[in-house]
């Protein structure tokens, strides 16, 4: 009896297949860069992990620097918080809302993958200043804008006096979030109560400075 199963023909990959290969390449590249650093990672090893040739990788990215930038963007996009998650930080009181916003940012770095990504961005930003901007635009700016809108509303209601809500939101992140984040990235552990205490103390100072005069 003849086998009537259609033969599988080799040919150009479909769009979905090409996309899957691209994601696999960026996943592998990110893993290598996070584990070995920019200098330690090689195109050869990354290509081998996804059964590609160096030539195929270089056809997509001109050099290791281009692949590194793409991998950082890919990793940042994968960890970006969805708008509905940001919106869910809204609480009944302003202070509790600010605490929830701060913890949302801190928790991203508190996870192993988030800490590794933040560390390599901090380490390599002197060589690639643009990766810091990439991270800020994708991972931080949506939350900063959400906070700026809240500060604008509180000012309109007369409860705060902030002339530049977007600048104030960025200052908030530096003042309230950066301290615990730096502590975590240094390899030290902060328990939840200690983080909450630090965050609430910094928020108290922020709100005191934003009071109407």
Q: Which pLDDT score is estimated for 11?
A: 58
Average pLDDT of the residues in 139-147: 96
Write out pLDDT tens, residues 126-137. 999 999 999 999
Answer whether residue 6 shows pLDDT above 80: no
Domain ranges of the chain: 15-78, 81-209
Q: Identify the CA nearest to 154 among candidates 88, 90, 66, 63.
A: 90
In angstroms, the CA 41 to CA 190 distance is: 31
Cα–Cα distance measured from residue 147 to residue 160, given in angstroms and rounded to the nearest whole number = 13
pLDDT the model gives residue 17: 82
Q: Is 53 exposed, middle or buried (0-12, 13-18, 19+ CB in 10 A)?
A: exposed
Per-residue confidence (pLDDT) for residue 109, from 0 to 100? 84
Residue 168 clears pLDDT 70, i.e. is over it: yes
Q: Per-residue pLDDT tens for 90-140?
A: 999 999 999 999 999 999 888 888 899 999 999 999 999 999 999 999 999
Homologous superfamily assigned to 15-78: Homeodomain-like (1.10.10.60)
- Band the pLDDT of 2: cuts 50, 70, 90: very low
For domain 81-209, the CATH architecture is Orthogonal Bundle (1.10)
**Per-residue pLDDT tens for 202-211?**
999 999 999 9
C-beta separation of 148 from 72 below 8 A: no
**Residues 184, 186: Cα–Cα separation, whole Å:** 5
Measured at the alpha carbon of residue 27, what is the angle toward residues 138 and 35, in degrees to the nearest 5? Answer: 95
pLDDT of residue 94: 97
What integer is the mean pLDDT of 51-59?
Answer: 94
Q: How far apart are CA 76 and CA 81, in angstroms?
A: 10
CB 202 within 8 A of CB 184: no
Of 118, 98, 100, whose CA–CA distance to 109 is shortest?
118
Average pLDDT (18-43) is 95
Give the residue-averaged pLDDT of 168-197: 90
Q: pLDDT exceeding 70 applies to what percent of the chain?
A: 95
């Amino acid at each position: 009896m003849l086998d009537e199963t259609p033969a599988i023909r080799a040919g150009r990959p479909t769009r979905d297949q090409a996309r899957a290969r691209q994601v696999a390449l960026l996943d592998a590249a990110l893993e290598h860069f996070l584990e070995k650093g920019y200098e330690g990672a090689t195109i050869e090893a990354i290509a081998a992990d996804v059964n590609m040739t160096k030539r195929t990788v270089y056809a997509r990215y001109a050099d290791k620097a281009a692949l590194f930038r793409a991998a950082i963007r890919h990793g940042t996009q994968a960890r970006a918080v969805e708008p509905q998650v940001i919106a869910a930080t809204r609480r009944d009181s302003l202070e509790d809302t600010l605490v929830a916003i701060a913890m949302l940012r801190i928790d991203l770095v508190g996870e192993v993958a988030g800490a590794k990504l933040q560390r390599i961005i901090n380490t390599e930003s002197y060589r690639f200043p643009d990766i810091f901007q990439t991270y800020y635009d994708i991972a931080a700016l949506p939350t900063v804008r959400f906070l700026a809108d809240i500060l604008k509303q509180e000012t309109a209601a007369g409860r705060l006096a902030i002339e530049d809500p977007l600048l104030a939101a960025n200052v908030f992140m530096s003042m309230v979030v950066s301290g615990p984040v730096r502590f975590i990235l240094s390899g030290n552990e902060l328990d939840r109560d200690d983080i909450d205490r630090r965050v609430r103390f910094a928020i108290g100072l922020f709100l005191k400075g934003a009071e109407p005069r």
